[in-house]
Amino acid sequence: MDTGKKIKLVREATGLKREEFSVRTGVPIGTLIGVEQGRHEPKAGVLKSIAEQWPEYAAYLLTDKIEVVQKKPETTG
């Protein structure tokens, strides 16, 4: 799957509209639309911005793998 489609799926998974996603990531709305529509590939800064906001999707954006982040049991004592 191309990166633009993955970014769109991440945005949809967050429940945000393009405008909200743009504000949260700092990615200009025009850039986001162009990437999602496959008109151009995202630069590294776009991927970095998304990964900083939602680290759980970083591996998926780069490799197609979704890793479930689980909390380690806290030890008492």
Q: What is the CATH number of the domain that holds 37?
A: 1.10.260.40
Number of domains in the chain: 1
User: 71 vs 37, which has greater pLDDT?
Assistant: 37
pLDDT for position 63: 86
Range of the domain at 27: 3-63
Query: Does residue 73 belong to any structural domain of this protein?
Result: no
Query: Does residue 75 belong to any structural domain of this protein?
Result: no
Q: What whole-number distance in Å separates Cα of residue 68 and Cα of residue 18?
A: 25
Query: Does residue 69 belong to any structural domain of this protein?
Result: no
Contacts of 29 (CB under 8 A, 6+ apart): 18, 19, 22
pLDDT for position 62: 86
pLDDT for position 72: 47
Read out DSSP for 26-61?
T--HHHHHHHHTTSSPPPHHHHHHHHHH-GGGHHHH
Query: Does residue 45 belong to any structural domain of this protein?
Result: yes
Query: Does residue 28 belong to any structural domain of this protein?
Result: yes
Query: Does residue 71 belong to any structural domain of this protein?
Result: no
Q: What whole-number distance in Å separates Cα of residue 61 and Cα of residue 66?
A: 9
Question: What pLDDT, in 10s, does the model give residues 35-65?
Answer: 999 999 999 999 999 999 999 999 888 886 7
